[in-house]
Amino acid sequence: MCGIFGVYNLPGDANAFRQRALYLSKKLRHRGPDWSGCTVAGNHILCHERLAIVGVESGAQPLTNDDESLILSVNGEIYNHKALRKMCPADTHFKTQSDCEVILHLYKQMGPEVVKHLDGMFSWILLDTKKNRILAARDPIGITTLYQGWSSKQPGTIYFASELKALNEECDRIVAFPPGHIFDSETGETTRYFEPTWWADEKIPEAPVDYQLIRESLEKAVRKRLMSEVPYGVLLSGGLDSSLIASIAARETQKIIDGVPLNRDGDDVDESAVSSWPRLHSFSIGLVGSPDLAAARIAAEYLKTVHHEYTFTVQDGLDAVADVVYHLETYDVTTIRASTPMYLLSRKIRAMGVKMVLSGEGADEIFGGYLYFHAAPSAAELHTETVSRVKNLHYADCLRANKSTMAWGVEARVPFLDKAFLEVAMNVDPKEKMSIKSKKMEKHILRKAFDTSDDPTAQPYLPDSILWRQKEQFSDGVGYGWIDSLKDTATEKVSDEQFAKAAERWPLDTPQTKEAYWYREIFEQWYPQDACTESVVRWIPRGDWGCPADPSGRAQKVHDSAYDKSA
């Protein structure tokens, strides 16, 4: 992943704005510390801050075609780029080994329809100078981040950037670009191109669970995400989701070492996964004695990964909160709680020279894994909630996984959000996802798909203590004292008098707790412009299901260490 910045239809001389554009693009350099690029064409500017993972030697951006009439700036990875190259005319000249260059050449053939053929995580800006046309697109779920902005001082000018911080000084309206959409200046419209069968939340699926299909689809999703020319690893919390991804990645990494090709299904999977590290590396973080560290140790020992365990103190975390808010560009309580340890861990990972990690985001939204799903009144309502949570991942866990890692130039890839896997998992009858009166463990069908206990000849994916471990939200699992300390610190920093006037200070999206007030105050220090709040969406627990207002997993009655077991 990288950082992209672009301005379309600048008034006056665009070259005069070049230094300003470089300054704004530099605010994204943490996302791409390996190289910078800037192209001015007419009254348009595209900039790029590169994190080199694929096509390391030749993939500097912005990319151009032979006559430089097409200019492209991309943040992301196109996993099916080898298959897409075969769709191009035989005489197509590829100037680089970048997985993203194919977008340019397919655009010449099919225009905006190119986005429908991409399998990956991406945000990109494409300038067609002959038509004076700009396109901007974001991946189906919003794994990558993209913002769009406008200035009332420059009507007709449109800004794009990977992060809010590159726009807030220029624009007085900024929105999060919607996932699964493409903007076309020729029509002036932003339209949805991603139309999976499960998108309509009122349509309740009835397909029986196919454990083998779930297992094989996830394995394939992991396999295609090993595309890399640099060392990679896995984030391992010791929970089910990250441990499954680590288990599959460890198996595939061993196959690479043994000479087994990644491309085993005729899908032209990029086989550039490096074998310079003979064993998969895994990374975990937590307070001393945290549940996640203990569980991750068990998983890593079983999987035989080279495991790196880091601890942080409560003070380390508290000291980082302001920086976390700066990088995340949100004041959502749940996101900040979970992002702080991930932000600290990412710094350690980058220091080891690792640029890419696999992570387990998305499974809880897909399978109803959060403990509050135990309170779902019916299967239909559970399904509607899962669809809503997946659609809004770009405001929460995708935003966290992207920005807390990219703050240090580390790319997180999330196999659970693979398009093909989603098509399988989101079409399962939601009755199969119900945790009936807490007697059926959350994400039961995912656990069962990787349970080999009925086959004594099979090598288990995980030990039972991990495969059947209760859901532990990352912000809880790193150590129960972490959230408690955040609440205590907020109580100290925010007086009763200040909190009583919260609605006067912020009449829109008013903080409901002192912790939320504290984060909102920090956000305002970094991003004081009114335009900055439009892109922030807070997650609100399902009070109508009887869920507590605190989003922590421990606030749910079914948690083994719940705050209030007597309720």
Do residues 121 and 359 make contact, with C-beta atoms less than 8 angstroms apart?
no
Residue in 525, 516, 489 with CA at minimum distance from that of residue 323: 525
Determine the Cα–Cα distance for residues 529 and 15; give it in Å rounded to an integer: 27
How many of the other CB atoms lie within 10 Å of CB of 353?
A: 9
Q: Give yes or no: 532 in active site.
A: no
Tokens 């300054």 — which residue?
23
Q: Which residues of 314-351 are buried (b: 16+ CB within 10 A; e: fewer)?
A: beebeebbeebbbbbbbbbbbbbbbbbbbbbbbbbbbe
Do residues 424 and 203 make contact, with C-beta atoms less than 8 angstroms apart?
no
How many of the other CB atoms lie within 10 Å of CB of 276?
A: 7
Beta bridge partners of 286: 311
What is the C-alpha R_g of the chain? 23
Determine the Cα–Cα distance for residues 419 and 139; give it in Å rounded to an integer: 10
Beta bridge partners of 213: none
Which residues fall within 8 angstroms of residue 424, CB to CB, at 6 or more apart?
210, 213, 214, 217
DSSP string, 465-486: HHHTPPP--HHHHT-HHHHHHH
Residue in 138, 140, 86, 137 with CA at minimum distance from that of residue 109: 86
Determine the Cα–Cα distance for residues 82 and 73; give it in Å rounded to an integer: 19
Catalytic residue among 2, 171, 398, 532: 2
Q: Which residues are catalytic?
A: 2
